[in-house]
Structure 1
Amino acid sequence: MTAPRIAVVGCGYLGAVHAAGMASLGLDTVGIDVDAARVATLQAGSAPFFEPGLDAMLRAGIDGGTLRFQADAAGVEADVWFVCVGTPQQPGSDAADLTFVDAAIAGLLPALREGMLVVGKSTVPVGTAERLAALVEPTGARLAWNPEFLREGLAVTDTLAPDRLVYGVRDGDDAAVAALDEVYASILARDTPRIVTDFATAELVKVSANAFLATKISFINAIAEVAEHAGADVVQLADAIGIDARIGRRFLGAGIGFGGGCLPKDIRAFRARSIEIGAPEALGLLDEVDRINQRRRDRMVELVERELTALGGGAVAMLGLAFKPDSDDVRDSAALDVAMRLAERHDVVAYDPQAAAPAARRAPQLRIVDALDDALAGAAVVALGTEWREFRELDPIDVATRTSARVVVDGRNALDRDAWTAAGFRVVAIGRPDRDPSAPRDPSAPGDPSAPGDPSHDQEARA
């Protein structure tokens, strides 16, 4: 049996990773994108964004002859066409903007022939696949919807070893199922769960998963608000309830909340679509999920400003600008939002291992430095916004020699409070009692459960 030839339309984050992943499976793959500069970068074996392992996978595919990139579909001979374009939030609306999806399908129609398969991977409102199928099917091609479940920072692993595959197809379209099975043959050979369903269910699987994860994060952040008023410790609380297998510890990391290019816009679009299709009350809880998420950013700003006021002013060293570690993505980043808001009234010096350039483009008014020491020097308060390993593994005794600051505001509950307190720092964290080095402590008390290395602080627990 001849292996299917693959074309990937749209080579942003999703498309670039998917194209490289398909090539790494030994499939002849071409990535297509209208952005000529992006195509040139990818064809040179480099990703236009930071994603661990992606550059190596790109170079392997290009050097091995299974992967190439071009600016249009001219000359492309493919059996399976994956559509991987973005679906951003519409300006002035919560609904998803399907401009790029519609343009991608319209551009493909002249190339489609009998027996070809068009596979949507973009996150779209329910009902989109049915509408697009009416355009694709008259050409003799088929349509399927195969949602992606990538986590930034782990996208290569999620592409090559996904925890499930979902196929949305027409009822009885065995040919579409067989074609996808050929594409994912090596993945399915490892007993990866495969769910074959209809278009609507496949579309809803992705947005429902994101809505559930966002709700879980906002739930623990709502509990963090209560904990602050009650004097309780939200991290120990999360550890306790997370032991229950029905609940689980992942995504119970209280802090300044979720961000990025997926969860915020996806839950808003899901809510908007539920209203459009006649279920206006079904997803009302997502409005509160969004509000809770935004309030945590407010709380981080309040905590930093409270400490600055107590100190009589001073500069803030903002550690982290990306929305999560192992990514340079600053779209709807809580850390960047907090830094920008603080910078309106205070001297803020920010540092991020990978997101400096994207953050500078989005917030040119923010002072961003290239080295951690440059951020720490002269700071009165150190604020953690993104839990990069570099920050989690800092030696607080060493940090004490590099800055005069003695207050740390931990916006991710990612630092070992015992170690930082022992080094002379006042540690302020969302949803936890403040830890002051001058306060007497019971030497027989157990160590801080939030110490770096605890699974609850792995990047996977952050959206």
Structure 2
Amino acid sequence: MKISVIGCGYLGAVHAACMAELGHEVVGVDVDAQKVALLASGRAPFHEPGFEEILSRNVEAGRLTFSTDFADLAGAQVHFIGVGTPQLDGSYAADLTYVDAAVTTLAPHLGEHPDGPTLVVGKSTVPVGTAARLAEQLAPTGATLVWNPEFLREGFAVQDTISPDRIVYGLPGDADLAERGRATLDAVYADLLAQDIPRLLTDYATAELVKVAANSFLATKISFINAMAELCEATGADVTALAEAIGHDDRIGKKFLRAGIGFGGGCLPKDIRAFMHRAGELGVDQALTFLREVDSINDRRRDHVVNLARHALGGTFEGKKVAVLGAAFKPDSDDMRNSPALDIAARIESQGADVVITDPAAGPRLREERPYVTVADDAHTAAAGADLVLLLTEWKQFRELDPAALREVVARPYLIDGRNALDPAAWRAAGWTYAGIGRP
């Protein structure tokens, strides 16, 4: 089957490469000529484990091409929309400019396909009600719209596309159109469905809500354990032991129960805010008022680490060197959007500290995008002469650091573990003053 993917950012590029890996002929379209040229050469414009391998393999095999010209979509039966929906400037709302532009530009290229119904498949995360509006816009073209939300975790995006834990189809209300959409998308995902991956058939609104509801639940779980960390610090309790104890309850589970500096990235923060905004538009804003506190708790964690750092340095950052381990919002990614690590580093630097940052993947991008930031190649270089070390992104390289060796290069062996990723006993035994989040 010939497929197009509109939008070749993180979501679209990974989806395009994975669809080609499944054997489809895929063309990715994006307005960014530089990004298209990079992808067309088989090189990844971002860090994602396993992505560049399948990208280059399928480009070389001729199954995957990239273009800036919508005319190159000719002949495709299925068109995926994978453009971004960032937070609107000055508002909590999602900015649908790119989604609307993709549909408007795609529409003139749609029509009857010799192999069956033409299908437009939305993958972008959008406010509930968007799919119904777009379906009306596409109706004159004869194309059927299905909303097929993505559930990618950065660092696991290839795995989550090739072998997801579920597949959701948001289908139109018309039974005939719904059946056409289901059958065509089943053909696209035939190899995945053969793995007995659960496939859920819903209406448009439910499919749109699945992604934002899932992200809101995860954000709530993270902020819950961070709220517990605040209580633990006030009482002398240990939040890691607390999390382990409650995590044994299979109704709660252990995942997303590590206290730390909070969540960031391009999805969770803007998705929960857009969810709140949309609830307000629908007149049910009180149903999601708890998400305001989830967001507030998350922001407080950054303030807390800055305060911990100031206290560790005797009440002032002036004239002190601080090494920051981590710039990406999570490990196995170079994504620095709404990164708690970068935000904390910037706040500390603005208060007079000499800050040096290192990150295995985001470091090179940070040098290029923010040349005014001091970036080191590795943890030992960053920590040389440091009065304080902050672990803010839990990369494996940082978790496996030898505390005795690192102590040899610092001016003062004081570490704040903002992710509770290290063994306090091992670091204290090596002579470090260790401070975690919500730990004695």
- Shorter-chain TM range is over 0.9
Q: Which runs of 5+ in 1 are unaligned?
A: 434-463
Q: What is residue 29 of structure 1 aligned with on the other side? A: 26
Q: What is residue 398 of structure 1 aligned with on the other side? A: 405
State the secondary structure of the residue aligned to 2:285: coil
User: Are the counterparts in 2 of residues 336 and 359 from structure 1 also a CA contact under 8 Å?
Assistant: no
Q: What is residue 425 of structure 1 aligned with on the other side? A: 432
Q: 1:423 to 1:40 in 2, by over 3 A?
A: same
Shift of 1:300: 0.6
Deviations 1:319-375 (A, max 9, x none): 001000000000000000000000112111111111124334564443222232221
User: Are the counterparts in 1 of residues 27 and 72 from structure 2 also a CA contact under 8 Å?
Assistant: no
1:163 paired to 2:165: yes
Q: What is residue 383 of structure 2 aligned with on the other side? A: 376
Which letter maps to 2:205? A
CA distance in 2, matches of 1:177, 1:393: 47
Shift of 1:309: 1.1
Shift of 1:395: 1.2
User: Are the counterparts in 2 of residues 153 and 325 from structure 1 also a CA contact under 8 Å?
Assistant: yes
Q: What is residue 242 of structure 1 aligned with on the other side? A: 247
Normalised to the residue count of structure 2, the TM-score between the two structures is 0.96
Q: 1:315 aligns with which of 313, 317, 321?
A: 321
Q: What is residue 78 of structure 1 aligned with on the other side? A: 76
Identity of aligned pairs, percent? Answer: 58
1:301 paired to 2:306: yes
CA distance in 1, matches of 2:315, 2:76: 64
User: Are the counterparts in 1 of residues 385 and 409 from structure 2 also a CA contact under 8 Å?
Assistant: no
Q: What is residue 386 of structure 1 aligned with on the other side? A: 393
State the secondary structure of the residue aligned to 2:387: strand
CA distance in 2, matches of 1:362, 1:276: 37
Q: What is residue 331 of structure 2 aligned with on the other side? A: 325
Q: 2:97 aligns with which of 76, 96, 99?
A: 99
Q: What is residue 11 of structure 1 aligned with on the other side? A: 8
CA distance in 1, matches of 2:312, 2:285: 43
CA distance in 2, matches of 1:362, 1:204: 34
Deviations 1:413-433 (A, max 9, x none): 001111101100010011111
CA distance in 2, matches of 1:133, 1:260: 30
Q: What is residue 130 of structure 2 aligned with on the other side? A: 128
CA distance in 2, matches of 1:250, 1:405: 34
Which letter maps to 1:49? F
Which letter maps to 1:358? R
1:339 paired to 2:345: yes
Which letter maps to 1:79? Q
Shift of 1:378: 0.7
Which letter maps to 1:258? F
CA distance in 1, matches of 2:13, 2:331: 20
State the secondary structure of the residue aligned to 2:388: strand
Deviations 1:283-321 (A, max 9, x none): 000000000000000001011111011799621110001
CA distance in 1, matches of 2:143, 2:316: 67
User: Are the counterparts in 2 of residues 166 and 196 from structure 1 also a CA contact under 8 Å?
Assistant: yes
Shift of 1:392: 0.3
Which letter maps to 1:252? L
Q: What is residue 270 of structure 1 aligned with on the other side? A: 275
Q: What is residue 110 of structure 1 aligned with on the other side? A: 108
Which letter maps to 1:286? L
State the secondary structure of the residue aligned to 2:435: strand
Q: What is residue 190 of structure 1 aligned with on the other side? A: 195
State the secondary structure of the residue aligned to 2:269: helix
Greater shift after overlay, 284-293 or 392-401? 392-401
Q: What is residue 365 of structure 2 aligned with on the other side? A: 358
CA distance in 2, matches of 1:90, 1:183: 33
Shift of 1:207: 0.3
Deviations 1:109-142 (A, max 9, x none): 1011132100000000000000000011211110
Following superposition of structure 1 onto structure 2, how do residues 145-164 of structure 1 map, counting pairs within 5 Å? 145-164=147-166
RMSD of aligned alpha carbons: 1.2
Pairs aligned (count)? 430
CA distance in 2, matches of 1:363, 1:235: 35
